[in-house]
Amino acid sequence: MLVRNGRIEAMGADVSTAAPGEPVEDLGHAAILPGLVNAHSHLDYTIFRGRLDNEPFFPWIRSLTELGARLQYDDFLASARLGALQMIRSGVTAVGDSSFSGAAARAAAEAGLRGIVYQETFGPDPSEDYREQIEALSERIEELQAEAGERISVGVSPHSVYTSSERLLRLVADLAADYGLPVAMHVAETQEEAEFVEKGAGQIAEFYSRFGFDFDPKGKSPVAYLHDIGLLGEKTTAAHCVYVTEDDLDILAEEHVTVAHCPKSNAKLAVGTAPLDRIVTRGILTGIGTDSAVSDNAMDMFEEMRFSVLMQRAAWRDAGALDAQRALELATLGGASALGFESEIGSIEPGKRADLIAVDLSSSSVFPTSDPYSALVYSCTSADVILSLIDGEPVYRRGEFLRTDADGIRQQAALLAARL
């Protein structure tokens, strides 16, 4: 493969002969892939890895909120830098990250990553006006765009239907439409969420009652509710989509909403298995995400690909539900398409940006390699990544980080973890 000026110029067995003056790097028994695209993550929360391993979803999310309240911006930045370091090490070259603090935009830019960082916003109280919050949110998005660099775009993320009042959701929809912002949301992640929106009942309703918040049952699914509000469109990424009906899939397909599938997080938090095979079959653009280190400790996209296949087969008892080649496509071109980058990255084609990784296939757990797709999805881990390029720039090579101070980042993270 010939890379010049940050793009793939040519590929094939005769490339080195056709370009005799170019330096050559022989990667040995390796697979060269498009860089992996992590379609849904939370770099802010990397520092909380391993702290809430055994809590059910809603106690978990309350505990995570309490932990997050103990951090200042510089703490979130140290945490996000650690997460970005891991992305680079594990073969991820682009991310779709939802950030409470906004620090992920700076951390991702420093690491050289490509992607979208969505500034999160919360506000469940239906009695609040939220116009001042939206004005502040708009200003914060402008600040992040100024500091994010050319590879990072900025979007907005109303966290979910149960942490955002209808008033706030409508204001965010207007803001996104006015400025052409991409949107990310947690959608239909739990059965409790679906029960709350449709019937106004269950754990979330009890939580609202304790705080004196009113909520009128909508008599419809979270997807249909968001559709009525105007938050679903081709620039919207819906994360999780575990509890979606056939009618919901119709809406997602018709509105060209993209989906970020997070199988390990869904499994660890015991919320269920998303119908990935049905989602993909409908032609809905779908990527794979790790979610945060609090719900997916390893944040390893190779594990996510593996879980994507195995959990679909186990859940539906169908060995043909998904295969390794399709999983790899979802983790590369699927994620690129979900974030709107498919014309630039996600596949190996002349003219596309040289966001590429090399994966060693010679280790004892992988060799021999009769089928590269099988080896990559069923055997490899992020530890097998030996080279990562973004725009043709090497950012990681065989244990060495070429753009970031990995030791300094780990030291800052260790100090923060000790303080916590």
What are the tens digits of pLDDT across the range 230-252? 999 999 999 999 999 999 999 99
Q: Which domain holds residue 207?
A: 36-353
Q: Can you give the pLDDT at residue 99?
A: 98
pLDDT band at 147 (very low <50, low <70, confident <90, very high): confident
pLDDT band at 106 (very low <50, low <70, confident <90, very high): very high
The answer to whether residue 53 sits within a structural domain is yes
Q: Can you give the pLDDT at residue 16?
A: 85
For residue range 197-220, list pLDDT tens digits in order: 999 999 999 999 999 999 999 999
CA atoms within 13 A on the CB side of 266: 29
Q: With 90 as the cut, is the pLDDT of residue 7 above it?
A: yes
How would you classify the pairing of strands 258-261 and 393-397?
A: unpaired
Q: Span 117-143, mean pLDDT?
A: 97
Region of 373 (left: φ > 0; alpha: ψ -120 to 50; beta: rest) is: alpha
The answer to whether residue 345 sits within a structural domain is yes
Q: Span 149-159, mean pLDDT?
A: 96
- Looking at every residue in the chain, the average pLDDT score rounds to 96
The answer to whether residue 81 sits within a structural domain is yes
Q: Span 264-289, mean pLDDT?
A: 97
The answer to whether residue 397 sits within a structural domain is no
CA distances from 236 to 220, 256, 315 (A): 20, 8, 27
The answer to whether residue 86 sits within a structural domain is yes
Q: Can you give the pLDDT at residue 18?
A: 86
The answer to whether residue 373 sits within a structural domain is no
Q: What is the CATH number of the domain that holds 313?
A: 3.20.20.140
Q: With 90 as the cut, is the pLDDT of residue 102 above it?
A: yes
Backbone angles phi, psi at 240, to 5 degrees: 90, -70
Q: Can you give the pLDDT at residue 155?
A: 98
For residue range 286-298, list pLDDT tens digits in order: 999 999 999 999 9
The answer to whether residue 152 sits within a structural domain is yes
The answer to whether residue 98 sits within a structural domain is yes
> Tokens 């029960």 map to which residue?
195
- pTM for the whole structure: 0.97
Q: Can you give the pLDDT at residue 111?
A: 97
What is the tally of structural domains in the chain? 1
Q: Which of 35, 28, 31 is nearest to 95 (CA)?
A: 35
